[in-house]
């Protein structure tokens, strides 16, 4: 065994995170991003050189000194909170996750504060979420929103970290800890969450945020500052049931703001028209009556006229030929100079049709292919320009700014799932969410909702998958907020909102399975709870001596082996529910995942286990995890040193491994 070579790149666990959070500054996240992209603008002391940065960009970027931004009390405090690491651990729900419908599921439900959840998710899902939908508190004054965070900064620390006066420091802490429903408190609550959410989105990712008039204007400015005004896609108007008791104006809508991470990465948002499908189905019914084409067209036009309100954007598909239904309303003329100029000869008169002033919309070869496929409608003679037939099966629809879905229908749907009981107030409209997901997601992506509520988003994902055969995955996050004591939910046995959300997913899955018995997709989910470390455990961690001849088993017992492994796997980028395999080393059990080998318990790790580990590396060509991770509290100084010295030999072996011993506290 070789002697004193050390490769001790420590990774943080809870104790280290807490120490690190003490040193966090409000701009740490921004500085880390700048350092990653512009390392040449930092000196050897790690200080940012603004002059170098300006020189770097001034020839490429139109720099403006004009400014327009949203400022509010606590803005820098929100940046500070976003820069800290979560001090929670991830506790898997072993019994639930082992059930047949859940054990292989890739869907995730997290019970816990969504700020902590976002920080965990960023370790494994950065740039991986295609669509985020959230329905945050609206701050109406009656929705129960009061901001009250759990951070324990002192007034003096806030003064130092944020560079503010004693008076402003006190006001910020009052907002953060004494409960406030002011605009500043709401913005301070939302800012770090939206900031972190952006980093989860794929480059072509989309976020939708429900809101009403109370904070709509502030939310728009807040999102502009994080996502960029140029990445604002639009604002959907969700028309709901009429307000029957207005004081002045009857409010009949809410908003849904839509931003993307990068507008240049967005394709066209369109889907096959469901209204066109109805026309096609009616046409098929008429065909069975053995009518002539003219009779089918006459009856179809009458039916379309009668049902016009149900057929938005497709009522003009009212022509019929031998091949089916089509529209002849397409314009042959180019709308601006630069169109195609060529003669189109009328098939009967053999004379050229009149050329448009700006030319035709299509090149000659394309037009001739339309003629060959009988996709051109001619006038009775050459005096009328020909029109290309647009077949109904090609009809698509766009995501329009006004969506109507009666909120009462959503309430009734949820009540029907829970046996006619009003378990949850104001659930989000299922069909509207499902419709939006059709436009912006592909069939194999991840959808996140970190204000999950009654889990409408999870329901929408599963229902959409069952209808189009997709493999979309969901991640839901909901804080275990208590249900009101005398509520129907509490009477039915649901003490917290997250319990309602999980049960809604189970019941929705059962209903979907009944409606689509052949569907074999993922209708389960894995459940995890974010837990704070108890104070008595923190005390033991604080007094633990790494040079001790004995490990501290009580600390591991407090965390639980499964919580440690789950937290580490997420932290190391393997995601929730990672595939961890046990590795027997003599009488000791280690845990293998990807390039990491985890040592959690200290008991039974002895020389025999060490010999077995070295032998495994030498004898198994496919075995090469280069990160050995220890739960530091479980191991004595002697055990750690034995590992350190023996791992050094592997770095010099035939495999030439770059071994990293990672002791986490």
pLDDT digits (tens, 9 = 90+) for 152-175: 788 888 888 888 898 888 888 888
Whether the CB-CB separation of 214 and 138 falls below 8 Å is answered with yes
To the nearest 5 percent, what fractions of the chain are helix, strand and coil?
Answer: 40, 20, 40
pLDDT in tens, 574-600: 999 999 999 999 999 999 999 999 999
Tokens of 598: 């985890």
DSSP H or E segment with residue 472? none
Helix boundaries (H) for 497-590: 497-515, 535-543, 553-559, 561-571
Give the confidence band of 28 by pLDDT, cuts at 50, 70, 90: confident
Matching residue, tokens 């039974």: 604
What does the pLDDT read at residue 65?
59
- pLDDT higher than threshold 80 for residue 105: yes
Backbone angles phi, psi at 234, to 5 degrees: 150, 180
For the residues 214-221, what does the mean pLDDT come to? 96
Q: Which residues pair with 446 in a beta bridge?
A: 473
Cβ–Cβ under 8 Å, residues 661 and 7: yes
> What residues does 119 pair with on adjacent strands?
none
Q: Please answer whether residues 395 and 317 qualify as being in contact, where contact means their C-beta atoms are separated by less than 8 angstroms.
A: yes
341 or 657, greater pLDDT: 341
pLDDT over 90 at 656, yes or no: no
Q: What is the pLDDT of residue 227?
A: 95
> What are the φ/ψ torsions at residue 203 (nearest 5 degrees)?
-60, -30
pLDDT for 242 equals: 65
DSSP string, 592-646: EETTEEEE---TT-SHHHHHHHHHHHHH-TT----EEEEEGGGS-HHHHHHHHHH
d(CA 618, CA 625): 12
| Residues in CB range of 602: below 8 A, 6 or more apart | 551, 553, 631, 634, 635, 636, 639
Residue 642 reports pLDDT greater than 60: yes
Please, what sign has the CA dihedral across residues 613, 621, 11, 4? positive
Q: Given pLDDT bands bounded at 50, 70 and 90, which one contains residue 411?
A: confident
Task: For 229-280, write each residue's pLDDT tens digit.
Answer: 999 999 999 987 666 677 788 888 899 999 999 999 999 999 999 999 999 9
Cα(194)–Cα(197) distance, integer angstroms: 5
Q: What is the pLDDT, as a whole number, of residue 13?
A: 66
CA–CA separation, 604 vs 586, rounded Å? 9
Higher pLDDT, 639 or 149: 639
C-beta of residue 571 within 8 angstroms of C-beta of residue 662:
no
Q: How far apart are CA 590 and CA 600, in angstroms?
A: 7
For residue range 88-102, list pLDDT tens digits in order: 999 999 999 999 999
Mean pLDDT of 285-303: 96
240-264 burial: b if 16+ Cβ within 10 Å, else e:
beeeeeeeeeeeeebbbbbbbbeee
Opening angle at CA 576, ends 572 and 580, nearest 5: 70
Q: How confident is the model at residue 21 (pLDDT cuts 50, 70, 90)?
A: confident
CA distance 291 to 28: 73
- d(CA 633, CA 551) in angstroms, rounded, equals 6
DSSP bridge partners of 270: 398
**DSSP per residue, 150-213:** -----HHHHHHHHT--HHHHHHHHHHHHS-B-SHHHHHHHHHHHHHHHHHHEEEEEEEEEEE-T
What Cα–Cα distance (Å) separates residue 283 from each residue in 294, 296, 310, 468? 12, 7, 16, 23
- Beta strand segments in 432-554, E: 446-449, 473-478, 526-532
- At 101 the pLDDT is 97
Nearest residue to 636 (alpha-carbon basis) of 593, 603, 595, 597: 603
Closest CA to 596 of 576, 624, 634: 624
Q: How confident is the model at residue 1 (pLDDT cuts 50, 70, 90)?
A: very low
The pTM assigned to this predicted structure is 0.87
The 3-state DSSP class for residue 504 equals helix
605: pLDDT strictly greater than 90: yes
Query: Given a cut of 90, is residue 6 above it in pLDDT?
Result: no
Q: Which helix (H) or strand (E) holds 110?
A: strand 108-111
Q: What does the radius of gyration of the chain's CA atoms come to, in whole angstroms?
A: 31
| Residues 6 or more apart whose Cβ sits within 8 Å of residue 466 | 512, 515, 516, 519, 521
C-alpha to C-alpha distance for 353 and 418, rounded to whole angstroms: 66
Distances (CA, A) of 566 to 512, 575, 628: 30, 9, 16
The pLDDT value given to residue 55: 67
Give the three-class secondary structure for 272.
strand
Residue 537 CA to residue 558 CA, distance in Å, equals: 7
- Residues 594, 626: contact at Cβ < 8 Å? no
pLDDT-based confidence at 226, cuts 50/70/90? very high
Residues 188, 215: contact at Cβ < 8 Å?
no
Is residue 627 left, alpha or beta, with left meaning phi > 0 and alpha meaning psi from -120 to 50? beta
Average pLDDT over every residue of 484-500: 95
pLDDT of residue 47: 77
> Is residue 96 a contact partner of residue 566, using CB atoms and an 8 Å limit?
no
What SS3 state is found at 442? Answer: coil
Instruction: Report the relative pairing of strands 596-599 and 588-593 from DSSP bridges.
Output: antiparallel
How far apart CA 123 and CA 112 sit, in angstroms, is: 17
């Amino acid at each position: 065994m070789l002697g004193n070579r050390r490769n001790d790149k420590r990774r943080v666990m809870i104790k280290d995170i807490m120490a690190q959070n003490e040193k966090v500054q409000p701009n740490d996240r921004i500085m880390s991003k700048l350092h990653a992209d512009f390392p040449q603008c930092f000196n050897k002391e790690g200080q940012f050189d603004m002059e170098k940065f300006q020189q770097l960009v001034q020839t490429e970027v139109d720099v403006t000194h004009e400014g327009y931004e949203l400022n509010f009390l606590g803005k820098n405090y929100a940046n500070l909170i976003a820069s800290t690491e979560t001090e929670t651990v991830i506790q898997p729900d072993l019994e639930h996750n082992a059930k047949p419908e859940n054990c292989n599921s890739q869907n995730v439900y997290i019970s816990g504060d969504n700020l902590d959840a976002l920080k965990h998710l960023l370790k494994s899902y950065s740039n991986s979420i295609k669509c985020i939908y959230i329905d945050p508190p609206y701050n109406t004054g009656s929705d129960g929103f009061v901001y009250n965070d759990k951070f324990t900064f002192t007034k003096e620390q806030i003064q130092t970290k944020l560079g503010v006066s004693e008076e402003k420091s006190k006001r910020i802490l009052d907002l953060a800890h004494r409960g406030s429903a002011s605009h500043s408190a709401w913005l301070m609550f939302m800012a770090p969450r939206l900031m972190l959410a952006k980093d989860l989105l794929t480059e072509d990712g989309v976020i939708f945020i429900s809101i009403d008039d109370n904070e709509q204007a502030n939310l728009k400015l807040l999102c502009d500052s994080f996502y960029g005004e140029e990445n604002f896609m639009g604002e959907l108007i969700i028309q709901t049931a009429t307000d029957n008791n207005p004081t002045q104006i009857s409010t009949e809508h809410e908003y849904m703001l839509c931003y993307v991470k990068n507008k240049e990465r967005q394709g066209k948002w369109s889907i096959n028209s469901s209204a066109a499908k109805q026309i096609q189905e009616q046409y098929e019914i008429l065909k069975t009556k053995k009518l002539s084409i003219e009779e089918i067209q006459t009856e179809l036009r009458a039916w379309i006229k009668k049902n016009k309100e149900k057929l938005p954007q497709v009522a003009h598909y009212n022509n019929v030929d031998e091949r089916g239904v089509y529209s002849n309303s397409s314009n042959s003329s180019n709308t601006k100079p630069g169109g195609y100029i060529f003669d189109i000869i009328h098939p009967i008169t053999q004379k050229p049709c009149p050329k448009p002033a700006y030319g035709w919309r299509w090149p000659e070869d394309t037009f001739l292919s339309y003629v060959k496929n009988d996709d051109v409608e001619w006038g009775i003679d050459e005096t009328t320009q020909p029109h290309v037939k647009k077949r109904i099966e090609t009809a698509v629809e766009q995501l329009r700014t006004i969506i109507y879905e009666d909120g009462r229908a959503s309430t009734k749907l949820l009540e029907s799932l829970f046996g006619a009981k009003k378990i949850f107030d104001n659930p989000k409209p299922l069909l509207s969410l499902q419709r939006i997901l059709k436009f912006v997601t592909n069939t194999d992506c991840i959808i996140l909702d970190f204000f999950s509520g009654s889990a409408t988003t999870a329901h929408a994902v599963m229902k959409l998958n069952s209808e189009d055969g997709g493999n979309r995955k969901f991640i839901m996050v909901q804080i275990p907020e208590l249900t009101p004591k005398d509520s129907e939910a509490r009477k039915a046995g649901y003490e917290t909102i997250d319990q309602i959300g999980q049960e809604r997913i189970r019941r929705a899955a059962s209903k979907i399975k009944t409606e689509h018995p052949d569907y074999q997709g993922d209708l389960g989910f894995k459940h995890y709870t974010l837990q704070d470390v108890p104070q008595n455990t923190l005390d033991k961690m604080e007094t633990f001596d790494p040079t001790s001849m004995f490990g501290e088993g009580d600390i591991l017992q407090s965390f639980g082996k499964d919580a440690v492994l789950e937290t580490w796997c997420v932290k190391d980028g393997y995601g929730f529910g990672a595939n961890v395999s046990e590795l027997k080393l003599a009488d000791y059990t280690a845990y293998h995942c990807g390039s990491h080998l985890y040592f959690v318990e200290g008991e039974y790790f002895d020389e025999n286990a060490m010999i077995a580990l070295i032998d495994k590396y030498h004898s198994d060509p496919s075995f090469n995890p280069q990160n050995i991770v220890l739960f530091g509290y479980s191991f004595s100084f002697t055990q750690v040193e034995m590992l350190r010295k023996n791992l050094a030999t592997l770095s010099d072996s035939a495999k030439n491994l770059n071994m990293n011993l990672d002791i986490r506290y």
